[in-house]
Amino acid sequence: MPDPQLDPDALPDTLRFGIFLPPYHRTEQNPTVAIHRDLELIEMWDDLGFDEVWVGEHHSGGMELIASPEQFLAAAAMRTRRIRLGTGVVSLPYHHPFMVAQRLVLLDHLSQGRAMLGVGPGALPLDATMLGIDQAQTRPRMHESLAAIMALLEAEEPISIETDWFTLDNAQLHLKPYRRQGLEVAVAAAVSPSGARLAGTFGTGLLSVGATSSAGFGALRGHWQVWEEQAAAHGHVADRSAWRLAGPMHIAETREQAYRDVEYGLLDWAIYFQRVGAVPQLQPEGSSTQELIEGIIEHGLGVIGTPDDAIAQIARLAERSEGFGTYMLIGHDWANPQATRRSYELFAHWVMPEFQGTMRSLRRSRRQSIESFERLSAAQSAAIEDAKQRYATQRPAR
């Protein structure tokens, strides 16, 4: 199903695929059902071959229902076999860093090495306000917390750190990560360079959660430059394979079907970002479903269309970023549950293989077979005829 305007052989073929699951659920539905449906989706993604899922932490707004991604992912670990499980993200200013590290190492053992720690400063202003945290404090606290967490994960001896909001007194993790190479850590970034700077400083991966917004798309190369420069300055190496770009999509067999599907929940999702989410750079434009569809497509914020459109979007991101490791679909309720599941199935069947090297060898084999068909068919026919004649001459007379 590739777009004939795209050269399939020119597409990157080493990408991994995941889901960034805040999640975004319509507030009119039963929240218990929605949470359990998310677990069922993770089971499906595991079966479909997605590499990883990242689950968010939120405490207000009514749409993003998961307050403890570690607890949720522990439940997911029991229902899955291979998909990796990341916090996307833990809001570090809200927690003592020792407890964050402890919980993630436990999740790592429960999942037998599939846990990943994604961190951020917290996205919803009301979350911080309810905890009595000034917005101006969140990013400095995140830096201090991440420094402590990385030290706890890597240190062989007890460490002591004292700040104005937490203390570590000869602290050490009594349980190390499941794998000898440790726990993978990634920092979230939207538009500002602060996330990329932290990723470089501490030698972590990078989660570009606003990669498809106009501002986020424009900042991709800048993020890489900051990440690379800071990594070099602190004795680390920025690794493009540890760079994850996220964007929303809903695909169907036809664009018309996709447009009809998103009439279910696209407007609710947009209103959340326009009035609650408080991330101005990610706000979609439009006050009706039709306006939103047109704006999302025109500005490249997301895909509402076919597998071909999804392939083109990922190719666009690869060109702009000059290389990344994982594309993450942002989970949402744009469409009803049945159409949403179908979208993921289409993505796994038609989009993912285009970037995994699978289709290139198949197409090469098919071209070779077509190009040699007449010559080899003629030779095969001649061989069959020769075998018939030999049998006729060698058959004993009756």
Q: pLDDT tens string for the chain (398 positions)? A: 445 467 777 788 899 999 999 999 998 899 999 999 999 999 999 999 999 999 999 999 999 999 999 999 999 999 999 999 999 999 999 999 999 999 999 999 999 999 999 999 998 999 999 999 999 999 999 999 999 999 999 999 999 999 999 999 999 999 999 999 999 999 999 888 999 999 999 999 999 998 999 888 999 999 999 999 999 999 999 999 999 999 999 999 999 999 999 999 999 999 998 888 756 556 788 899 999 999 999 999 999 999 999 999 999 999 999 999 999 999 999 999 999 999 999 999 999 999 998 888 888 888 889 999 989 889 889 999 899 888 888 876 55
CA–CA separation, 300 and 213 (whole Å): 7
Task: Please give the Cα distance from 251 to 351 (Å, whole number).
Answer: 10
- What are 296's two structure tokens? 């999302």
Please report the pLDDT score of residue 319 as a whole number.
95
Q: What is the pLDDT of residue 91?
A: 98
Quote the pLDDT of residue 279.
62
Cα 72 to its chain centre, rounded Å, is 17
Residue 4: what pLDDT? 47
Report pLDDT for 276: 80
CA nearest 152: which of 116, 194, 182?
A: 182
Q: Domains for the chain: give ranges and CATH numbers.
A: 13-356 (3.20.20.30)
Q: Helix H segments across the chain?
A: 31-48, 69-77, 97-110, 125-130, 135-154, 194-202, 214-218, 220-233, 255-261, 266-275, 289-299, 307-321, 337-346, 358-371, 373-394
Check residue 49 and give its pLDDT: 98
Tokens 């053992």 belong to 109
The answer to whether the Cα torsion of 166, 170, 175, 181 is positive or negative is: positive
pLDDT given at position 280: 55
Residue count of the chain:
398
Among residues 210, 340, 348, 199, the alpha carbon closest in space to that of 265 is found at: 340
Q: Give CA 247 to chain center in angstroms.
A: 8
At 58, give phi and psi (nearest 5°).
-145, 155
Residue 186 and residue 117 in contact, taking contact as beta carbons nearer than 8 Å: yes
Rounded to whole angstroms, the Cα distance separating 258 from 335 reads 9
